[in-house]
Structure 1
Amino acid sequence: MSGRLVLLGTKGGPAIRPGGPWPTSTLLELGGRRIVIDCGLGVTRGLTDAGLSLKALDLVFVTHLHSDHALELGPLIHTAWTAGLATPVKVFGPVGLNRYWQGFLQSLEFDIETRIDDEGRPDLRQMVEIAEFGEGIVMGDGELEVRALRVDHPPVTECFALRFDCGGISVVVSADTAFFPPLAEFSRGADVLVHEAMLQAGVERLVARTGNGARLREHLMASHSLAEEAGTIAARAGVGRLVLNHLIPADDVEIGEADWIEAVRKTWSGPLTIGRDGHVLSVGGIQGGNREDRHETGNTQERNA
């Protein structure tokens, strides 16, 4: 069995800037299931650009309710519905997710009821199942099993790393977290670990550009992981590949891929991907070996060298 991981949005934080990357969202295709992980702004366009028919929307997981992970959840499902979605969608997330969904439905009540009456669409309110979860097994459906681990992302307490196991393939998504040693055991032996990452030098420039610099620095350092800390988790877990995602900062012109590689190589010598919007990674089958990613010119499909 093999699968596909598509990084739809790779930026940490909710702001967007001209020509810059989009906030966090990921597509994982495993065992015939289409799994959307987090729904930051831009997820709907990212999915269509990745070739996914919105009518085939299947499973959605939200790691926590910060806006850069959940803002476009409602619009994604509504847009899929207007595109012809006719099958149920199951959405998993932390406590508070159902309140978000009910609020979204209320805000679009006029549009939903009008389209049902005028266009003969099925009732969107009956098509979505919301499942709030905590730690442990989130779902088991055929070959696919999903487990959750509460991570350290103050002040948010309901924030969860997710592990997807299907047909002998394992993919772990860290969610937003400070350095959290239990994540290494949770990720043990996974084919791919997608882990958030931050660069210290970039943080200082980011803080200097904002009007609440001291508070922002305090939050970032308490709630997020430096790139070398992500490498430590990957090394302790013995994963097949580390993918850096939710990059902070992701849109600093003074920071390039080489800077991320230099930081993470202090602690991780294995296969490495520095996230960028639209990047496609094959999971399962032949592994990439202990080498840097190589990319075809003009193509986001990774080649395992």
Structure 2
Amino acid sequence: MSDSRLHFLGTGDSEAMRFWNTNLMLESGSRRLLIDCGYTIKYALRDAGLAVPDIDAILITHTHADHAYGLERFGIETRYRYGTRVTLYAEPDVLPALWHETLKGSMGYSSDGENRLEDFFDVVAIENHSLEFADHHLRTFPTEHTGGMATYGVEIDDSVIFTADSKPLAWIAEDRSRRTILHDCSLQADNPVHATLGEIIAFYPPEVRRRMLAIHYGDDLETHRAAIERELGGVAEQGASLVL
């Protein structure tokens, strides 16, 4: 699949100003799937030479603003400016909160009256943690993030593990494949809902960390870059991509 790439549209945490929200894009031929769609997504797409109409589908891992608030712009613009609907993938336990607790406040009513999520998107509930996009197989897995919230990461083929927002995960520590791991990496000394760099180093064996790229980091990246590059495989650089 040499014509397929996973682009790092944004790599920052929710507070970052030097980096856009951590949102990825799977590009296969002429088709493009966003993995998460935070509030900075239009800027990230602009930097990649793209815009809302260039996206075919979106997968949402959880409902925090830096992963989902860009859907408001996508839904409004595709419906009223372009007359289209983007396919929206999410786990069944993510979808109710995505509408009723996240988007309905700004999208629930319009000039057409009362709306539903399906009025803006072609909504597809992910079945059995599995979906196909273009020539790729994606599998979702639960993460350890915010208590009481449904949160997921994504595996892409046999190539990539993306934790999205998560504390360290035991099954990844035992993974002996050659897959690249894009791991949530808070640069704070302590964080109750994100894996810190110190936790990653202590939790994962060196052979796993060598396949790991830090993502979802803060503006103080350069202060920690040397440690990341010494202990992990490196940094997922904004604007870079992986060939799948």
Cα distance in structure 2, aligned partners of 1:74 and 1:233: 40
Q: Deviations over 1:76-130 (max 9, x none)?
A: 332344552535423324524244336635633555539xxxxxxxx99545133
Percent identity, aligned pairs only, is: 23
Q: TM-score, normalization: structure 2?
A: 0.78
Q: Which residue of 2 aligns with 1:291?
A: none
SS at 1:255 equivalent:
helix
Give the conservation status (yes or no) of the 8 Å contact 2:56–2:86: yes
Q: 1:78 to 1:235 in 2, by over 3 A?
A: farther
Matched, 1:232 2:204: yes
Give the conservation status (yes or no) of the 8 Å contact 1:193–1:243: yes
Larger Rg: 1
Q: 1:62 to 1:275 in 2, by over 3 A?
A: same
Q: 1:70 to 1:126 in 2, by over 3 A?
A: closer
Q: 1:85 to 1:48 in 2, by over 3 A?
A: farther
Tell me, which stretches of 5 or more residues in structure 1 are unaligned?
115-122, 205-216, 265-271, 285-305
Q: Which residue of 2 aligns with 1:79?
A: 77
The amino acid of 2:137's aligned partner reads E
Q: Which residue of 2 aligns with 1:244?
A: 214
Q: 1:185 to 1:63 in 2, by over 3 A?
A: farther
- How far off is 1:163 after superposition? 1.0
Superposed, 1:196-235 pairs within 5 Å as 196-199=184-187, 203-204=188-189, 217=190, 220-221=191-192, 223-226=194-197, 229=200, 232=204, 235=207
Q: 1:41 to 1:61 in 2, by over 3 A?
A: same
Q: TM-score, normalization: structure 1?
A: 0.64
Cα distance in structure 1, aligned partners of 2:48 and 2:219: 22
- How far off is 1:185 after superposition? 5.6
Q: Which residue of 2 aligns with 1:147?
A: 139
Matched, 1:33 2:31: yes
SS at 1:178 equivalent:
coil
Q: 1:83 to 1:263 in 2, by over 3 A?
A: farther
Give the conservation status (yes or no) of the 8 Å contact 1:197–1:227: no
Q: 1:152 to 1:283 in 2, by over 3 A?
A: same
SS at 2:240 equivalent:
strand
Aligned length: 239
